[in-house]
Structure 1
Amino acid sequence: MVHYKLYRQGMLGMMLVDSLDELIEAGHISPQLAVQVLEKFDQSIDNAFTNYVKAKATIQKDLLTYRFCDDVWTFILNNPTITSENGPIQVDRLKIIACDAKASKK
């Protein structure tokens, strides 16, 4: 099964990569083990979003730009309002990356 590596670019993923780099530099783990940890991270994040996240939100605003490449959609919106069960949120810019679920199950 293929797991997307998008979440490595998030705060948690970047902190994990930094920590693994420090461990490699200190000689505590091998680069091969670090790669295995990152692959397990990808699997775990994918599993968490698939099985545990049930939140829904409504996004209102005009679409600024979009792109579709390699089964990955990217949408960029300016000044959207996001409405969820916690109430509305206003942000300056929103980037949404959506991956084809069928492609990740191959």
Structure 2
Amino acid sequence: MANYVMYRNTTLGHALQKTLDDFVHEQQIPSALAEKFMATFDKSFNKVVSTKPKNKVTFRADKLRAYRYCDNVWTFLVEQVDFKEVFDNRKIERVKIVACDGSNKALTTM
């Protein structure tokens, strides 16, 4: 089963990648082990994100600036977005939303 690697672009993903790069550079671990570690990170992050979060957020955008669909991934660029949670409301000027098909069918065909 394939895993999405977009979570590598998070703060946690960047920190992990930098640490592994330092270990490889200092010859403390081989690069193959670092790659395997990142693959495990991808698999674990995808599993946790699909099962753990229980919060629901609604939003309304004044303007859809652009949208794209490629390889089962939707990308939306929206402006003047109102996010509403149970206890908090926020207005944000610009938001990029990336939505991937999380079904097993979509992941196995990649």
TM range (shorter): over 0.9
- Secondary structure of residue in 2 paired with 1:55: coil
Q: Secondary structure at 1:92's aligned position in 2?
A: strand
Runs of 4+ in 1 over 2 A off after TM superposition: none
Distance 2:78 2:96 in 1: 7
Tell me the residue number matched to 1:3. Answer: 3
Tell me which of the two structures has the higher relative contact order, counting C-alpha pairs closer than 8 angstroms and 6 or more residues apart.
Answer: 1
Secondary structure, aligned partner of 1:86: coil
Following TM superposition, by how much is the alpha carbon of 1:105 offset from its aligned partner in structure 2, in angstroms? 4.1
Query: Percentage identity across aligned positions?
Result: 32
In the superposition, the TM-score normalised over structure 1's length comes to: 0.93
Distance 1:84 1:66 in 2: 24
Structure 1 residue 86, shift from structure 2 partner: 3.3
Structure 1 Cα separation of the partners of residues 28 and 87 of structure 2: 43
Alpha-carbon RMSD: 1.2
Gaps of 5+ in 1: none
* Deviation readout 1:10-34 (Å, 9 max, x if unpaired): 1111111111100100111111000
TM-score (structure 2 length as normaliser): 0.90
Cα deviation digits, residues 62-92 of structure 1 (max 9, x gap): 2111100011000111121111123112222
5+ residue gaps, structure 2: none
1:104 and 2:107 matched: yes
The CA distance in 2 between the partners of 1:45 and 1:86, in whole Å, is 27
Match of 1:43?
Answer: 43
